[in-house]
Structure 1
Amino acid sequence: MVETASLPLVSVICLCYNHGRFIAEALDSVLAQTYPHLEIIIMDDCSTDNSVAIIKEYCLKYPQLTFLSTGTNQGNTKAFNLAWRASKGEYIIDFATDDVLLPEQVAQQVAAFQQLDKTYGVVYSDAEYIDDNGRHVRFHCQRNQAGEVISFAPSGNIFHHLLGRYFICPPTMMMKRQVLQDLGGYDEALAYEDFDFWVRSARSYKYFFLDALTTKRRLHGSSLSQQLYKPGDKQLASTVLVCEKALQLVQNPEERDALTRRLKYEARHAFLTGHYQQAEQFLSLLRQHAGLGPVYRTLHLLNKLKVDLRFLRVLYHSILNR
């Protein structure tokens, strides 16, 4: 039997903000991990519901838990940075307390890392999406009848892939501490962390896809991901900043093509959701990066005139959902 002291320490950073409905299930899932060498840090970002009361009950019952508070509401990126800098683990999981870890997640991902060389910085895997009540919605990866993953899930040097498309479910990731140290943690100027972390980390580190279902990600109306493209959404401004960084990081035609696709996508969706300022910024970056062809020159004009075509996006999604 392997002694705990000989295993790498894994820090699970449990980020909470008004997760009172879900936090008990979330913490139970961390405590149920089969991997024995865990550091569990709960960081509450000044919740206004009953989250803190529940956390304190858990800390009394389970003294191995560490409870921290931001003191004032800081947002995800600052709250996470405070927590991981207080941690000691060789590997780190960024875990929102409205999600659920399956019992073998940490053990499986540590085992994967131990088979990889030092050029790998992140292991990610498959997830199940659940609703408010924990009911199945869908799986992140598509599989054939034999159970083999047929959706896009690459390993290795995937910087260009991360520029061009979305394919990682963020709560499935385990990160090497060294990656966060190299990056200085999450960029605290941003409203969200995943796209920026992917772009900056994948420039220097490889990613590995672990073909296993490890996580349940909860979809509910108040989650950050559900606010994207809604009026007043602050994430688009952050995406502009990440694309500006990416512009300085691309090194070859494949990467430049991927960034072009990203800028076109973001410009279209910003315009079609009435975010005219951000659409202009994406189009400006596209002009600087690859130039504007006829379609995007037209889009630039429509955006400048603030022509409201939001109904087209609504119509498109209504057709898809039939």
Structure 2
Amino acid sequence: MHNKPLVTVICLCYNHADFVIEALESVLNQTYSNVELLVADDFSTDTSVKVIKNWLKEHPKIPFLVNKENLGNTKTFNKCLKLAKGEYIIDLAADDVLKIDCIANQLEGFKKTAYENVGLIYGNAELISENGNFINDYFKTDTNRKRLQSQPTGDIYIGLLNGNNNLCSISSLVKKAVFDSLNGYDENLAYEDYDFWIRASTIYNFDYVDKILVQKRVLKDSMYTLLTQKNNKKTRRFNYSTYLILQKAFKLNRTKEEFVAMLKRIHFEMTVAYKTRDFHLLMKYIFLELKVRSTILYK
């Protein structure tokens, strides 16, 4: 790793007019200075574009991509990724905030890791309300803000399959080489992180920095609040994406242990499908379970 590697922060905005300036300022205020900022708006229907353009008057060298139609996070991120010059990448939502020493701590994690071939460093996050009030830490912490339970590191592929390994994607610093090797995010999915973790973990080790690196804003209309809503189109698209991710994982699996781990996640998703009354998806999971069990018999 170079002494001062360039870090590219890709800030994606969609209807975050009330929060985007705080997100952008948090990038410029980092204690680590060698940072490239790329900003994109995914056809916001609020005043986000106007707010960002006004802010950019003071920062005219920062690139700003404005979509002429709503493409979604995955496609918009990949457009920015092609422009990124950094050795490392941060995917920053425009309603979240980087702690002032976020990048410095992430790079220190890469420097001090005991693992070979580390592709991703992540840490803890502070969940805040729309008004910026503290809610709780993403991973439970003690009075010193240290993680109460040890965080899985290294080869975490099986833990991602069975759901035992929970990452905090918003606090991640990823080598650009990882994105390049995986061709960025899968643009066919409604969300990107779980698929990206699984694919990356088959090639790279992961490591954890036990610090609060970012503030994650919890909004009432965020995707993760829709997970268990019945008869909701966004909910169904999100949950169907998880099914597609597990189908891809089936092809990545090589050992009996990996297929057994996959069954646990399938059972969890079957419960979600039942609770959301998505019986079509439930049937797909039943067939996928049978396929996995059949594979296990011959391993």
Task: Tell me if TM exceeds 0.5.
Answer: yes
- What do residues 208-240 of structure 1 show as CA deviations (whole Å, max 9, x unaligned)? 011110011111122222222322121111111
Query: How many residues align structurally?
Result: 287
Q: 1:120 to 1:245 in 2, by over 3 A?
A: same
Equivalent residue number for residue 191 of structure 1: 190
Say which structure, 1 or 2, has more relative contact order (CA 8 Å, 6+ apart).
2
Q: 1:6 to 1:144 in 2, by over 3 A?
A: closer
* Mapped partners of 1:146, 1:108: distance in 2: 17
Match of 1:29 among 26, 29, 32: 26
Equivalent residue number for residue 157 of structure 1: 155
Structure 2: which amino acid aligns with 1:281?
Answer: K
Answer whether contact 1:77 1:192 (CA < 8 A) is retained: yes
Q: 1:147 to 1:133 in 2, by over 3 A?
A: closer
Structure 2: which amino acid aligns with 1:153?
Answer: Q
* CA drift at 1:151: 3.0
Answer whether contact 1:100 1:217 (CA < 8 A) is retained: yes
* CA drift at 1:57: 1.5
Find the structure with the greater CA-based Rg.
1
Equivalent residue number for residue 74 of structure 1: 71
Equivalent residue number for residue 126 of structure 1: 124
* Mapped partners of 1:23, 1:219: distance in 2: 14
* Mapped partners of 1:149, 1:77: distance in 2: 30
Gapped runs of 5+ residues in structure 2? Answer: 295-299
Equivalent residue number for residue 297 of structure 2: none
* Mapped partners of 2:150, 2:277: distance in 1: 30
Match of 2:270 among 264, 267, 270: 267
Q: CA RMSD in A?
A: 1.6
* CA drift at 1:284: 1.3
* Mapped partners of 1:269, 1:36: distance in 2: 44
Bigger mean CA deviation after superposition, 208-217 or 218-227: 218-227
SS at structure 2 position matched to 1:229: coil
| 1:94-243 correspondence to structure 2 within 5 Å | 94-116=91-113, 119-145=117-143, 147-151=145-149, 153-165=151-163, 167-230=166-229, 231-232=232-233, 233=235, 234-243=237-246
Structure 2: which amino acid aligns with 1:14?
Answer: C
| 1:237-316 correspondence to structure 2 within 5 Å | 237-290=240-293
Answer whether contact 2:228 2:275 (CA < 8 A) is retained: no
Answer whether contact 2:38 2:63 (CA < 8 A) is retained: yes
- What do residues 39-77 of structure 1 show as CA deviations (whole Å, max 9, x unaligned)? 000011111111111111121112342211222210000
* CA drift at 1:251: 2.2
* CA drift at 1:200: 0.5
* CA drift at 1:35: 0.7
TM-score scaled by length of structure 2: 0.92
Structure 1: which amino acid aligns with 2:225?
Answer: Q
TM-score scaled by length of structure 1: 0.85
* CA drift at 1:150: 2.4
* CA drift at 1:33: 0.8
* Mapped partners of 2:143, 2:220: distance in 1: 32
* CA drift at 1:168: 1.1
Gapped runs of 5+ residues in structure 1? Answer: 292-322
- What do residues 152-188 of structure 1 show as CA deviations (whole Å, max 9, x unaligned)? 5211000111111151122101111000000000000
| 1:43-82 correspondence to structure 2 within 5 Å | 43-82=40-79
Q: 1:108 to 1:64 in 2, by over 3 A?
A: farther
Structure 1: which amino acid aligns with 2:204?
Answer: Y
* CA drift at 1:118: 5.2
* Mapped partners of 2:153, 2:46: distance in 1: 40
* Mapped partners of 1:56, 1:263: distance in 2: 45
Pair 1:11 & 2:8 matched: yes
